[in-house]
Amino acid sequence: MVVRLSSSLLLLGLSAAVLVARAVRYGTSLEKPPPSAPPQIERDAAAQRLARALRCRTLSDFDPQRVDREPFERLRHVLEESFPLVHQHLKREQVADLSLLYTWPGREPELQPILLMAHQDVVPVEPGTEGDWKHSPFGGEIAEGFVWGRGALDMKSALTGIFEAVELLLKEGFTPRRTIYFALGHDEEVGGFQGNARIAALLAERGERLEFVLDEGGLIVEGVIPGLRRPVALVGTAEKGFVNFILSARGEGGHSAMPPRRTAVGALSRALMRLERSPFPLRIEFVSEMFRHLGRRLPFAMRLFFANLVLFGPAAARMLAKNPKINSNLRTTLAPTMLRGGVKENVLATDVSAVVNVRILPGETIASTVSRMERIIADPAVKITPTPGTEPSAVSPIETPAFTLLRRTILEVAGEVEVAPYLVVGATDSRYYAHLTNRIYRFMCIPMAPGDIPRLHGTNERISVDDYVRSIAFYHRLIVNSEDL
Ligand SMILES: [Zn+2]
């Protein structure tokens, strides 16, 4: 008896030791390069050039006929005036009317080119919030160490930042080894159906294959990952699909004083309630891959969990899913966003509908999402109609020279950060290049405190001059480092 008890205790102790040992060893430990010397950037002049670009009210519109072309033309002139060497040495093509494709020919044209992306268009300022801006959204003001305005983060600072870097390099007499393309779409905020869709088709027609693509999507974040104090550079390696479903139900109509047992409003409400009560299954692979890269920087309790996912996986996923931000990386999410129906308080509605916005995890599809929703709603009276959507992207590999290059450049420029791959929950125009390369990465070298995130598409969008200068240094370094690629 005593022997049996002590041997069970021994076994228990041994298992615990194994779990702890795994937690201690958990995570990747890659060598870090030393910081690189920053290029000579004229801060004030660079900030002024960005400010000029922000003054162009380049709003995209779902209806191309309604787009005001003048601000886009003005932006083109601002770029020409701000970056004379870029316009002297690079070839510029206008695609789909307002999008721009620049080509910087490389020394070794047989190598696959690199494609860097930044969109020209911005989202409008929500009517009624203009007065909440500390500095006018299209005034291009520089104050308190920041450049203020719509597009400062999303993403004219990347657009002019890339050209600042190229202009500097051209001044130094630099010619890249690989050809570099710069794709500047004009309709990203409304789906990119013309701009980057057309640029990607053009490159495909020319038989081009790309070494890698870099677009927006990831940032340097702080205080987003529980238990981690250091900033993390999140590089998007995949993005979710998205689709809007219209759920509709029809009823008989008539006077509400003599209602039938089932009404259209009741059926639709029941369907929405069932969907909310049965969320899509949790899949931890994207989050666990991100955490593996943060490995040793994570608090021990978390490492214990993630190093032993076989044992703790489901519990870890359930715990993390309580945070809506992380939940969006763990499953396909679904959100009813609009409701319509009824004309009068005492008339039974004949036709009611809801819009359900769905963000699909890579590995699932629009079709598999529909069939799951049909199963959960289980009511033939409720019709589910998908509108045109986008399937989730493929997952870009990270064991590639291109990802290593990105990682190295981030560490050289941003210093004390961790670099991790992650899943982008929004959609970017980079998806149009999926047939030209499987190496699509999404990252801007801009730090984002939690308080800054609402500024994206929100009020008081701004970038600090320091962050802007660092972002220029990032593109500069990336191009220089790509000599080794
Ligand atoms: Zn954007």
Cα of 46 from ligand 1 centre, angstroms: 21
Cα of 385 from ligand 1 centre, angstroms: 28
Cα of 241 from ligand 1 centre, angstroms: 16
Q: Distance between terminal CA atoms of the chain?
A: 65
What is the structure's pLDDT at 453? Answer: 84
| The model's pTM | 0.90
Query: Is residue 185 very low, low, confident or very high in pLDDT (cuts 50, 70, 90)?
Result: very high
- Each residue of 16-32: pLDDT tens digit? 787 777 777 777 666 77
| Catalytic-role residue among 121, 215, 364, 412 | 121
User: Which residues make up the environment of ion ligand 1, defined by Cβ < 5 Å?
Assistant: 154-155, 216
Cα of 188 from ligand 1 centre, angstroms: 7
What is the structure's pLDDT at 229? Answer: 81
State how far the Cα of 424 lies from the Cα of 444, in Å rounded to an integer.
Answer: 13
Question: What is the DSSP annotation of 180-192?
Answer: EEEEE-S-GGGT-
What is the structure's pLDDT at 252? Answer: 84
Cα of 154 from ligand 1 centre, angstroms: 5
Q: Which residues are within 8 A (CB) of 201 and not within 5 positions of it... i.e. 6 or more apart?
A: none
Query: Among candidates 122, 123, 159, 136, which has minimal Cα distance to 46?
Result: 159
Tell me, yes or no, if 276 is annotated catalytic.
Answer: no
Cα of 273 from ligand 1 centre, angstroms: 33
Cα of 288 from ligand 1 centre, angstroms: 26
What is Dmax (Cα atoms) for the chain?
Answer: 88
- Each residue of 317-358: pLDDT tens digit? 888 899 888 899 999 999 999 999 999 999 999 999 999 999
Cα of 88 from ligand 1 centre, angstroms: 28
Cα of 217 from ligand 1 centre, angstroms: 8
Cα of 192 from ligand 1 centre, angstroms: 11
- Each residue of 410-467: pLDDT tens digit? 999 998 899 999 999 999 999 999 999 999 999 999 999 878 888 988 999 999 999 9
Tell me, yes or no, if 121 is annotated catalytic.
Answer: yes
Chain centre distance of CA 302: 25
Strands 232-239 and 418-424: parallel
- Each residue of 70-115: pLDDT tens digit? 999 999 999 999 999 999 999 999 999 999 999 999 999 999 999 9
Dihedral sign, CA of 247, 253, 256, 262? negative
Q: Which two tokens stand for residue 80?
A: 């020409």
Contact by Cβ (8 Å): 169, 476: yes
Contact by Cβ (8 Å): 334, 275: yes
Contact by Cβ (8 Å): 428, 396: no
- Each residue of 214-266: pLDDT tens digit? 999 999 998 777 778 889 999 999 999 999 999 999 988 788 888 888 999 99
Ordered by where they begin, the domains of the chain are: 43-236+393-484 (3.40.630.10), 240-386 (3.30.70.360)
| Catalytic-role residue among 154, 188, 216, 412 | 188
The average confidence (pLDDT) of the chain is: 92
